[in-house]
Amino acid sequence: MHETAISLIELGAVFFGLGVLGRLAWRIGVSPIPLYLLGGLAFGEGGLLPLHGIEPFTHLASEIGVVLLLLLLGLEYSAGELVTGLRRSWPAGLIDIALNAAPGAVVALLLGWGPVGALSMAGVTYISSSGIVAKVLGDLGRLGNRETPVVLSILVFEDLAMAVYLPILTALLAGVSFLGGLTAVGISLVVITLVLVIALRFGRYVSALVDSPDPEVFLLRLLGAALLVAGIASELQVSAAVGAFLLGIAISGSTAVNATRMLEPLRDLFAAVFFVVFGLNTDPARIPPVLLVALALAAITTATKVLTGWAAARMQGIGRMGRARAGAALVARGEFSIVIAGLAVTSGAVTEQLAALATAYVLLMAILGPVAARVVEPVAHRALAVVAKR
C-alpha cells in the first residue's frame, strides 16, 4: 500500500478513536485527557499496536495544540483582570508554590534526576489544570459561588508564574549558562510587562488588528498571529506557549469572545493530538516502576492543593464549606503538566522516566480532580459534623 495512503488511514483511525474516547469521557463525566493519554500509550512504541508514518504531522499538530491551549487561556483574562487577580492572590499564590512545587522537586532529587529534573517535576506537580477546573465549576453550577473568584485568582497567579518559570526551564534544558538563563528571564519579564502595558492601554488596537467581520479572514488572521507570536517568542527563548498566552491577554472585548468561540473546536482537536503524541512517545513499560511514586505524589499533592484553596479562601473571609470547595476545585492537573514534561523529555536533558511519571501522575490527578470537586461537600459536611460534636 502507498505510504501516503497508510498515513491517511492511521491518521483517520487516530482522529476517529479520539472522538470515541471523547464521547466516552463525556458519558462518564470525566476529563478526556486521561483517555487521550491512554490512547497514545496503546498505539506508541511498546504499545498494543504501534503506529508509524504520522510523526511529521502529529509533531507539528501537537505544537499547535500547545499554542492554542495557551492562547485560549489568555483570552479568558483581560489585562486588568490579570493585574487585579495578581494583587488579590499573591500571598495565596506563594503558599501554592511552596506547598505544591516542593513534592515534585523532592521526588525528582530522591530519584537522582538532578536539579533540572527537580525543576521540571516541580512544575508538573505545581500547576492546576485551568481547563479541567473551569469545566468542573461550570458542570457543578459553582461559577457564581463566593469562593469561585478565589479559585480563579489562584489560577491567574499560576499562569503568570508559568510565564516566568517556562523561560527559566527552557534555558536550563537547552544547557544555557547561568548568565544566559538570567538573560532569558529578563527578556521574558520585559516582554510580559510590555504586553500588559500594551493590553491595558492599546488592547483595542491589537483586537482591531486581528478582527474581521468575515469569519474566514478572522480565523486566518487570528491563527496566523498566534503562530507568528509563538514562533518569535520561542526564538527569543521566552517559550511559544507564553507568547500565545500573552497574545490572548492582549485581545479583548467582543474580539476575544468571538475568537474563543471560533477557536475552541480547533483547540480541542489539536490539544487532543498533543496529549496523544505525549502518550505515543511514552513507553508503557516505563510506567509500572514509577506507579507507586505517582500514587504517593497524587496523595500528597491532593492534600496540598486542598490546603492551598482552604488558605486562600480563608484569607478572603469565606466559610469552611466554601474553603473546602475551593481546595477541591484546584486538585486537577492536566495540560500544563504534560506541556512541562514534554519540554523536559524532548530536550534530552532529563531521563525518559520523567515522562512516564508525569503521565501516570496526570492520569491520576485528571481523574481525582473532578471526583474531589463532586464529593467534597458531603465529605466536608460529615467532617464538620464530627468536629461540632466534639
Cell of residue 170, nine digits: 527552557
Q: Mind giving me the DSSP string for 59-79?
A: HHHHHHHHHHHHHHHHHT--H
**78/147 Cα distance (integer angstroms):** 20
**68/265 Cα distance (integer angstroms):** 10
Q: Mind giving me the DSSP string for 291-313?
A: HHHHHHHHHHHHHHHHHHHHHHH
The closest of 183, 157, 160, 159 to 170, measured between CA atoms, is: 183
Question: What pLDDT score was predicted for residue 179?
Answer: 66
pTM: 0.74
The closest of 131, 150, 248, 161 to 196, measured between CA atoms, is: 248
Contact 345, 332 (CB under 8 A): no
Q: What are phi and psi of 231, to 5 degrees?
A: -65, -45
Contact 62, 148 (CB under 8 A): no
Question: What pLDDT score was predicted for residue 296?
Answer: 95
| CA distances, 62 to each of 85, 121, 126, 233 (Å) | 30, 21, 22, 17
Question: What pLDDT score was predicted for residue 297?
Answer: 95
Domain enclosing residue 332, as ranges: 3-389
Question: What pLDDT score was predicted for residue 389?
Answer: 65
pLDDT tens for each residue of 314-326: 998 888 889 999 9
Question: What pLDDT score was predicted for residue 100?
Answer: 96
Q: How many domains does the chain have?
A: 1
Question: What pLDDT score was predicted for residue 151?
Answer: 86
Cell of residue 17, nine digits: 478513536
Contact 247, 171 (CB under 8 A): no
DSSP state of 30: S
List, in sequence order, the alpha helices (H) in 316-352: 320-329, 335-347
Cell of residue 69, nine digits: 491551549
- Enclosing H/E stretch for 353: helix 353-389
Contact 173, 347 (CB under 8 A): yes
The closest of 314, 344, 51 to 170, measured between CA atoms, is: 344
Q: What is the CATH number of the domain that holds 214?
A: 1.20.1530.20
Q: Map residue 228 onto helix, strand or coil.
A: helix
Q: Map residue 334 onto helix, strand or coil.
A: coil
pLDDT-flagged residues of the chain (< 50): none
Contact 337, 124 (CB under 8 A): yes
